[in-house]
Structure 1
Amino acid sequence: MSMNVASAPKTSTFQARINPEVKKEVEGILADCGLTLTEAFNAFLQQTLNVGGLPFLLTKDGDKVLREQAIALLMAELKAGEDSAKSESDWVSEEDMLAEFGLNT
């Protein structure tokens, strides 16, 4: 059962030692998003509960893994779109599509 962090009673405290310059910069970034450091930390806790682990990748090749996952997802979506056309008559020609959107040249 996943708890809702936002509505859960806040009776425990958490302290962490961080660089004051890093804290100030992070607080500025979060303020631009409309969040306090406490709210962002609670969002992190909620996402950790939601996914049952860290809500982001911690790998040396994290960007490569994310790119590969994104490409796989896009390829699956492309395949699903192609498979949804039952016959050639379901396809719209490039010329007809451009005309439909008023993009004739």
Structure 2
Amino acid sequence: MPKNPAKKLNVTIREDLLERMDSYAADNGMSRSGLIAIAVTQYLNAAEAMPSVNKLLSAMAAVSDGVLRGQIEPSEARARLDAIQMTYDELTKKA
């Protein structure tokens, strides 16, 4: 038995969206189910990453603000930005 067996489900969707889905799926050699699975996976990955993205943006803003106010030396700012970059790289590596 597969590790993650597929399950069937019924959904109701607007006709215009269904037409767009079918057109996209056909143009890209995939089924409706495949397109839906990819779309849901990408949506959930983005939604789950959003808190981390917001933290990175806040950290970058804090570094920028600190430099502009003269509260953070350029070398310290560089170290903080390098740490932010490393966190970003780890976050995007999972995707």
Where on the TM-score scale, by shorter chain, does this alignment land: which range?
0.3 to 0.5
Q: TM-score when scaled to structure 2?
A: 0.38
Structure whose CA Rg is larger: 1
Q: TM-score when scaled to structure 1?
A: 0.35
